[in-house]
Each structure stands twice: as structure tokens, then as C-alpha cells.
Chain A
Amino acid sequence: MSTSVKFNYTVDGEDFTRAGEASSNVKGKLKQMGVSPDVVRKVAIAMYEGEINMVVHAKGGNITVEVTPTEIIMTLKDVGPGIPDVEKAMQAGYSTANENIRSLGFGAGMGLPNMKKYSDELTIDTELGVGTTVVMKVHIS
């Protein structure tokens, strides 16, 4: 792989059953490209958590995945409510999810901690009432 490849996804915020389709698609593509299984799994989990967050908190958004020879860069952009307290949101177990989200198996307060755990670099740019952009990088070697 000497050049970069870019994939774009629109995440539907209305349909919870389809949440994760983009991550599933990326996982398949990376496998096909011969990326090592450990890297593929890190990307898949980090992106899946981000995608779920987009659906349950922000009514969807856009995801761009760029695969370069040295790293995989995921950019998740939404126009949701923004995160009031990023530091708190990064704590394991802290969640603002409602009962409905919890009944679906999410809202354990592990979303952002997992995104941090499985990515090598994580930056969160958020503004209340405007939206959130999360950039995650996973190094290939």
C-alpha cells in the first residue's frame, strides 16, 4: 500500500438497527487490503463506538476513513448537541444516556473510554448546540 485511500459514510441517526453498518463495511475493506487483524479490530471497535454515539446522541453524521501507508485516520463529524463536559465524558462509567439507550445495551459509560483505548490518538472538538468532531488515528506499524 503506497498510496492513501479514503472512504466516506453517512450515518443514519434514525435507525438504531443499522448503527454499525459503516464500521462493519470498513472492517471488511481493511481485511481485504491485508491490514493486520489487530489493527483492523482496533479500528473497528473505536469506529463502532463512535458510530453508536452518533446515532444515540447526535441523530447521525458523517464518517471519513483515510487509510495511509502508516496510519488509519477516522473523522466522525456530527451536528448534534455537543458534549458539555468532555473530561467527565472520558471517565469510564459516566453516561448521559437515557433508559431507552440502556435497554438497547449501550450507555454503560464506556463509549469514549473505549474509543481512547483502541485508538493511538484521539482528539475531540465539540461545541454546545453546534456539534462534535472526533478524530481517531490508529497506527499501522
Chain B
Amino acid sequence: MTISEVKDFLEAKILCGEEHIGKDVHTACGSDMMSDVLAFVKDQSVLITGLNNPQVIRTAEMMDIICICFVRGKVPDEAIIEMAEDRGLVLMATDMRMFEACGILYEKGLRGGAKH
């Protein structure tokens, strides 16, 4: 699935990284707890979260996550968007809730991957 398809399925708005939306995502992870995200490893993932502080961007950076989708209508501030831009991440925001967003992506064929 491409990032562009993720955006369409979740009816999301791109916040930065438009130039990377042709990239493929292979797995997804949905959580508001960053240590739970850090327990999960898989290349080229999309992170679905309702948390929008700088540590979300750092967690993505450490995990080589390429795309973050903020749920429940949350939009991070400019400094966070800039941080993501510097790291070549795609950020998007949807009004959907976590359960709904994860369910749709799962139904479209994306899986959680990684049992380390």
C-alpha cells in the first residue's frame, strides 16, 4: 500500500512530506504509548497515533517509520511539523478515531507485522 492510498483510505490531510507519498508502507502500528511502538520493529511502517508531541517524531526516527497519521483531528504544532520535514517523514491528520483508522487499514490489507 502506498502512503497516498493510506491518505485516501483515512480521508486524511497531508501536513508535510507530500513528495514522499508515493512510497510503500508494509506494516502499521497504532498506539499512544511510544514505548509500545518502540517494542515493535518493522521497516517502512505507518504509525497511527493520537499523541502529538516531539517524541512521536523522535520515536518514528529511531524506528525508521516513514509516515505518521494523527487521529481524532489532532494536528501538531509548526515546530513538530518542521522536525518531521527535516527527517523526511510524511505527516497526515484524520478526524477518524484510532479504532476506525486501524480497522480500515487492516481491512485494506495492511498488517501489524513484527513478532520480534
Contact B41 A24 (CB under 8 A): no
Number of interface residues of B (CB under 8 A): 21
- A24-B55 contact in complex given A48-B38, A111-B35, A117-B39, C-beta closer than 8 Å: no
List residues of chain A with CB under 8 Å of any chain B CB. 16-17, 19-20, 23-24, 27, 37, 41, 44-45, 48-49, 52, 102, 104-111, 113-114, 117
Cross-chain contact A114 with B33 (CB below 8 angstroms): no
Within 8 Å by CB of A105, from B33, B41, B61, B64, lies B33
Q: Is the CB of B53 within 8 A of A49?
A: no
Contact B64 A41 (CB under 8 A): yes
In whole Å, how far is B23's beta carbon from the nearest beta carbon of chain A? 16
Residue pair B62, A48 in contact (C-beta under 8 Å)? yes
Residue of A nearest to B56 (CB): A105
Give every chain A residue within 8 A of B116 (Cβ-Cβ).
117
Nearest A residue (CB) for B49: A105
Residues of the A chain whose Cβ atoms lie less than 8 Å from the Cβ of B58: 19-20, 23-24, 48
Most A Cβ at <10 Å: residue of B33, B34, B51: B34
- B101 to chain A minimum Cβ distance, whole angstroms, is 17
Decide if A108 touches B33 in the complex (CB within 8 Å).
yes
Query: What is the chain B residue whose CB lies nearest that of A49?
Result: B38
| Total of A-B residue pairs, C-beta within 8 Å | 73
Out of A20, A41, A108, which one reaches B35, CB within 8 Å? Answer: A108
B36 at the interface (CB under 8 A from A): yes
Q: Is B100 an interface residue when CB atoms closer than 8 A count as contact? A: no
Whose C-beta in chain B lies nearest to the C-beta of A41? B64
Cross-chain contact A105 with B38 (CB below 8 angstroms): no
Q: Is A105 within 8 A of B63, CB to CB? A: no
**Which chain B residues border A41 with CB–CB below 8 Å?**
41, 62-64
Query: With an 8 A cutoff between CB atoms, is B22 at the interface?
Result: no
The distance in angstroms between the C-alpha atoms of A44 and B55, with both chains bound, is 14
**Which of A44, A107, A108 contacts B62, CB < 8 Å?**
A44
Set A17, A44, A106: member contacting B34, Cβ < 8 A: A106
19 additional A-B pairs beyond A105-B55, A106-B34, beta carbons within 8 Å, are A16-B53, A19-B58, A20-B55, A20-B61, A23-B62, A24-B58, A24-B62, A37-B64, A41-B41, A44-B62, A45-B38, A49-B38, A105-B32, A108-B33, A108-B34, A109-B35, A110-B33, A111-B35, A114-B38
